[in-house]
Amino acid sequence: MLKGKTAVVTGGSTGIGAAICRKLASMGADIAIAALACDENSDNLEKEISETFGVRIKTYACNVADAEQCKATIKQIHGDFGNVTILVNNAGITRDGLMLTMKEADFDAVINTNLKGTFNMTQACYRIFMKQKYGKVINLASVSALLGTAGQANYAASKSGIIALTKVTARELASRGVTCNAIAPGFISTDMTKGLEDQYIGQIPMGRPGKPEDVANLAAFLASPDSDYLTGTVIRIDGGLAIS
């Protein structure tokens, strides 16, 4: 279904990003990972995905918080693969703490990676999508933005900003056949949430954490032509955690 399409997945060598890479590759997409570094994780994932699905996959070292690096990376990917059709803004970090004591550096780091990173990569792909008259932007938000989770002022604000960016991107590019949607996961078992399960599990109506593959299945729908009339939305995937 995605043969001949190239998906750029930021932070794609671990956790939810890696699951999204596997899923999109299983649908035939070529994969470009934008990761902080080309390391053991990305080497192993490249090997696994190319052997299993026979698609092209390459990792590019790129700090999404740096606009120039994002522009250069997308240019390089476009040159190497010939197209960029799907952009998954997945890279993200947490630096949790109560507002009372949250350090300015921790606020800035989270905003710069999560929010500015999403803006940087979307802007770097903007002209390509416009010229192609097709594109799929998938932004990783969080239920933290919807709930205002205590201890996550920086993270929740960054993810709220991503929801706003999703709507702006959707409106600006809708007439060009480009869709942009946000996924708001609840509690998903990855390195980011390691050790926090006991704190959250009782709040999840389904009584269990989500798996990276749960999120990847939704991303696959948003990356496919099946979702061509869906844009500017925020879809929760949280076992009911943020039912309002």
Residues that bind ligand NAP (CB under 6 A): 10-11, 13-17, 35-36, 63-65, 90-93, 113, 117, 140, 142, 185, 187-188, 190-193
* Cα 231–Cα 120–Cα 126 angle in degrees, nearest 5: 50
CA distances from 37 to 11, 90, 124, 151, 157 (A): 9, 15, 19, 29, 26
Residues 6 or more apart from 44 whose CB is under 8 A from it? none
CB of 155 to ligand NAP, least distance (A): 7
CB of 38 or CB of 130, closer to ligand NAP: 38
Distance CA 133, CA 59 (A): 26
Distance CA 163, CA 166 (A): 5
CB of 135 or CB of 185, closer to ligand NAP: 185
CB of 164 to ligand NAP, least distance (A): 16
Q: DSSP class of residue 210?
A: B
CB of 193 or CB of 227, closer to ligand NAP: 193
CB of 36 or CB of 130, closer to ligand NAP: 36
Q: Check 60, 155, 200, 229 and give the catalytic one.
A: 155
CB of 139 to ligand NAP, least distance (A): 9
Q: Look up residue 226 and give its amino acid.
A: D
DSSP structure string for 135-155: EEEEEE--HHHHHT-TTBHHH
Q: Active site includes 200?
A: no
CB of 67 to ligand NAP, least distance (A): 12
Catalytic residues: 155
